[in-house]
């Protein structure tokens, strides 16, 4: 698979080839049931104890359904963000460059260019054939995402395109779409405050008296376009322009065949149709990205007017549900730089190093950790906590400030910081009137949530962490490996280090002890004996050093 000469960005086929060349792809050629086996198989790399760097994209080439029917279209799961390395491959840069690439793209958008004879129109189905089994969307091997709970195969890796009926600016979002018939599905767009841009278009069509809203559901966009769906752009921004900014060149688009919308020319599949604005249909249950099953709700029925695809189409499917997952990696890599930029640049808060969104189980939405430089004034720490808590409505219910020695991906380390570096009366605040955001509870009933802010930074120097110093742990690790003992996976913190309350006199004594010279240490301490002090009185090392030098 090579990049076509008239475009400078990768399509999904190029991306898959790059993943395979980089050792980030697992091909599965054995028969796999898309309804009962596909997502559970990939899920094991998230719940089976594998490290993130060992997770891969899975390409399924021999697919059948629960009734034994075979499909000739492959499916890729985890292809956009099985881990951060997969995401970086799609972005065409290193992990460290992703934040700057997003910032540059948003600041320097590039308008798309329209083309004819697009690859996404190589195979076209329209008209009466769409309603027949084995045609329309029924030809697509869409997996059941959460077998045992989901009620239908559901499109998850979508770029759903709608258009503002007033200014005609398109919006592109990632929304789930449940299959109902070969020519009908139900689309779920978030209706909460700060929710889906497509839902705002739906409301405008309703207000104008339009009974239907045109929509195009795109599967398998070029990575730069695919990443736009989950990303949160301001209302009124056309995601194709920002995708062009990522590519550094115009994204090729083409006219949809039956709806007045523009779609990516290199899309694998495009499902065109109209959403009914006058009625809703039950949809769900479905295992959601917040980690709970979304129960059955009424959502937007869509009649399909065309299904177009490439001859060699590949269907992407996001593995979502309980984090970590593909969808949480996509969001984390994109959101964390936005939070950090907001605090450091927009709010000009001093001392902020980075913002980290806790991923496992909480799915980035509920716990945010801000890394703060030592010595940062408390006013800046609290500005940072409040800034992170309310930058995005569905993130930051619990915001915790820590210092750089705390591993933000270790709940144990965060609890350690809270246990030893915070006084709940002084270092914790409760803030009322927070919306529920994306989660198992809904805002429709008016139920509010609240926010917890925690300053778990060091307020003064502390003694070192009580583990052997790094040089001794590394020396012991070499012995361990030479003995061919079980493979080590070091968990931070794995060695002791200074936290400020340490003195050169103790450093010298520790080195002598490690060299077997404890008797010399005893000789020195004998010269420092004093009278009249209560046991457990603290030693002043500066005073001891002065006595030793006299």
pLDDT in the model for residue 1 = 34
Q: Determine the pLDDT at residue 436.
A: 66
Whether the pLDDT of residue 114 is over 90: the answer is: yes
- For residue 499, what is the DSSP state? B
312-323 tens-digit pLDDT: 999 999 988 877
How high is the pLDDT of residue 305? Answer: 98
Mean pLDDT across 480-497:
92
Calculate mean pLDDT across residues 387-409: 92
pLDDT digits (tens, 9 = 90+) for 493-508: 999 999 999 999 999 9
> What are the tens digits of pLDDT across the range 3-57?
344 788 999 999 999 999 999 999 999 999 999 999 999 999 988 888 889 999 9
- What's the mean per-residue pLDDT of the chain? 91
> Pairing relation of β-strands 262-264 and 252-255?
antiparallel
Residue 445: pLDDT band (50, 70, 90) is: low
pLDDT at position 524 is 93
Domains of the chain, CATH where assigned = 97-312 (2.30.110.10), 347-455 (3.40.1670.10), 470-549 (no CATH)
* Nearest of 217, 229, 216 to residue 90 by alpha carbon: 229
Higher pLDDT, 138 or 4: 138
pLDDT at 527 over 70: yes
Residue 499's contacts (CB-CB under 8 Å, 6 or more residues apart) are 405, 458, 461, 462, 463, 464, 465
Report the range of poorest mean pLDDT among 148-162, 328-342, 476-490: 328-342
What lies within 8 Å, CB to CB, of 250 at 6+ separation is 110, 111, 112, 113, 244
pLDDT band of residue 437 (cuts 50, 70, 90) is: low
Average pLDDT over residues 382-411: 92
Contact between 63 and 74 (Cβ < 8 Å): yes
Q: What local confidence, expressed as pLDDT, does residue 248 receive?
A: 94
Q: How confident is the model at residue 276 (pLDDT cuts 50, 70, 90)?
A: very high
Is residue 455 predicted with pLDDT exceeding 80? yes
Going by the DSSP 8-state scheme, the letter that residue 116 receives in this structure is: S
Residue 392 is predicted with a pLDDT of 83
Residue 342, class by beta-carbon neighbours within 10 Å (0-12 exposed, 13-18 middle, 19+ buried)?
Answer: middle
């Amino acid at each position: 698979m090579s990049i076509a000469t008239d475009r400078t960005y990768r399509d999904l086929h190029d991306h898959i080839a790059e993943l395979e060349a980089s050792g980030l792809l697992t091909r599965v050629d054995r028969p796999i049931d898309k309804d009962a086996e596909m997502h559970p198989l990939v899920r094991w790399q998230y719940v089976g104890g594998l490290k993130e760097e060992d997770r891969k994209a899975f390409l399924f080439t021999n697919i059948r359904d629960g009734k034994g029917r075979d499909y000739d279209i492959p499916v890729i799961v985890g292809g956009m963000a099985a881990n951060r390395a997969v995401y970086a491959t799609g972005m065409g840069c290193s992990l460290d460059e992703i934040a700057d690439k997003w910032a540059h793209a948003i600041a320097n958008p590039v308008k798309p260019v329209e083309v004819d004879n697009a690859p996404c129109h190589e195979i076209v189905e329209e008209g009466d054939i769409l309603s027949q089994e084995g045609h329309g969307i029924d030809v697509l091997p869409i997996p059941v995402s959460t077998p045992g709970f989901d009620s239908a195969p559901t499109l998850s890796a979508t770029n759903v395109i709608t258009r503002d009926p007033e200014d005609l600016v398109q919006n592109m979002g990632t929304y789930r779409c449940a299959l109902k018939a070969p020519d009908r599905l139900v689309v779920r767009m978030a209706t909460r405050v700060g929710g889906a841009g497509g839902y705002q278009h739906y409301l405008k069509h309703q207000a104008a008296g339009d009974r239907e809203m045109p929509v195009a559901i795109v599967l398998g966009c070029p990575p730069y376009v695919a990443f736009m769906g989950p990303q949160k752009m301001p209302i009124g921004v056309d995601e194709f322009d920002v995708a062009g900014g990522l590519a550094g060149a115009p994204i090729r688009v083409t006219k949809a065949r039956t709806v007045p919308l523009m779609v990516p020319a290199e899309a694998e599949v495009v499902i065109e149709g109209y959403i009914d604005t006058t009625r809703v249909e039950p949809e769900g249950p479905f295992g959601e990205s917040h980690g709970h099953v979304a129960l059955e709700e009424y959502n937007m029925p869509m009649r399909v007017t065309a299904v177009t695809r490439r001859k060699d189409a590949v269907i992407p499917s996001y593995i979502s549900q309980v984090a970590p997952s593909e969808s949480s990696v996509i969001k984390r890599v994109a959101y964390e730089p936005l939070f950090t930029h907001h605090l450091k640049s927009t709010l000009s808060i001093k001392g902020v190093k980075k913002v980290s969104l806790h991923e496992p189980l909480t799915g980035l939405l509920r716990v945010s950790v801000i890394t703060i430089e030592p010595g940062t004034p408390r006013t800046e720490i609290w500005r940072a906590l409040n800034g992170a808590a309310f930058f995005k409505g569905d993130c930051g219910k619990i915001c915790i400030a820590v210092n750089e020695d705390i591993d933000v991906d270790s709940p144990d380390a965060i609890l350690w910081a809270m246990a030893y570096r915070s006084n709940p009366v002084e270092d914790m605040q409760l803030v009322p009137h927070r919306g529920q955001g994306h989660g198992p509870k809904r805002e429709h009933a008016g139920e509010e949530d609240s926010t917890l802010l925690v300053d778990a930074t060091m307020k003064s120097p502390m003694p070192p962490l009580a583990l052997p110093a790094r040089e001794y742990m590394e020396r012991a690790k070499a012995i361990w490996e030479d003995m061919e003992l079980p493979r080590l996976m070091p968990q931070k913190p794995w060695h002791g280090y200074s936290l400020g309350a340490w003195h050169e006199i103790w450093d010298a004594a520790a080195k002598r002890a490690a060299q077997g010279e404890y008797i010399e240490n005893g000789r020195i301490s004998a010269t420092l004996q004093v009278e009249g002090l209560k046991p457990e009185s603290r030693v002043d090392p500066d005073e001891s050093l002065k006595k030793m030098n006299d």
